[in-house]
A = this chain, B = another copy of it.
């Protein structure tokens, strides 16, 4: 009796082998390029692959070879500007190397929540993991990654004992604060976005600059990630005559703060100078265009992936990659002016 007619399931390597008239391992060899195959057989195999539209099963491959071409990206958020751009950078770099990327969101730093969030991802056979360690969920997730899995952390400040790509936020924040001080402001107020730990680089850089200049250190004001949370803070700041210069943890908060200031009747930069952080795509279009520190998030993601690749390949390689954001001076900062007495 002849063979039953194949139903339309995806073809397997066996189908390809039969079609090409070679053994299964030979097909595998042309697929992986692991061993030499005679040109004649290679041609046959390639033809069979094309005819059958064969695609190897990653699952079967992973199972036997114990090597995977998939990485996971773990992040507290995926849609905010910095995160989204970082993820894009990782994806571009990964795709170029034939890696596939999985996204895992950890919304909360609570231990059980973290476990639950990453559980499904960790059942995958992964080549490695990139953790966006910008916030508490990221920090918590990093601790939960099995020790035998290659990992790199991406963040705004260096930390020891871990492979990481970093944006030197503290230095940039310090320079931005120095810029404001240099303009003649007696001090610089600071609006902080949710930090990953007790302190974050932006805040500590700001403080460092104030201390170095022996300027008074105003209390830090905390914003949420929502741009509109800056509005109330802006109104508050408007009521404080010492607030002639404000450094905000990111551009979106700066925009909120500027709106709050405007609602209170103050102009930027005439009455108050405002600096942001990140160089959000809209920062240059804002009125007035925002002075800020450009962070190359996509570059960070790309560097992070390269570091991960080194870990995967076992190439000793570097453990650490840092880059300093570049300051972008625009029109939202200027020399102070005596404010009208109220």
Using a CB–CB cutoff of 8 Å, the interface residues on chain A facing chain B are: 8, 10, 55-63, 69-70, 78-81, 84-85, 87-88, 91-92, 95, 98-105, 117, 119-125, 146, 148, 226-228, 231, 252, 255-256, 259, 262, 281-282, 284-285, 287
A256 to chain B, nearest CB (A): 6
- Find out whether the CB atom of A98 lies under 8 angstroms from the CB atom of B120: yes
Q: A252-B281, A252-B282 are in contact. Are A99 and B120 (CB under 8 A)?
A: yes
Q: How far is the CB of A286 from chain B (nearest CB, A)?
A: 8
Chain B residue numbers with a CB within 8 Å of A103 are 87, 91, 101-103
Of B62, B117, B226, B227, which contacts A59 at CB under 8 A? B62
- A245 CA to B80 CA in the complex, in Å? 31
Residues of chain B with a CB closer than 8 A to A120's CB: 69, 95, 98-100
Given contacts A95-B117, A148-B8, contact A284 B228 (CB under 8 A): yes
Cα separation A120 to B80 with both chains bound (whole Å): 27
Known: A84-B84, A125-B59. A285 touches B231 (CB 8 A): yes
CB of B228 within 8 A of CB of A285, answer yes
Q: Is the CB of B104 within 8 A of A121?
A: no
List the B side residues contacting A125 at CB < 8 Å: 57-59
* Chain B: minimal CB distance from A113 (Å): 11
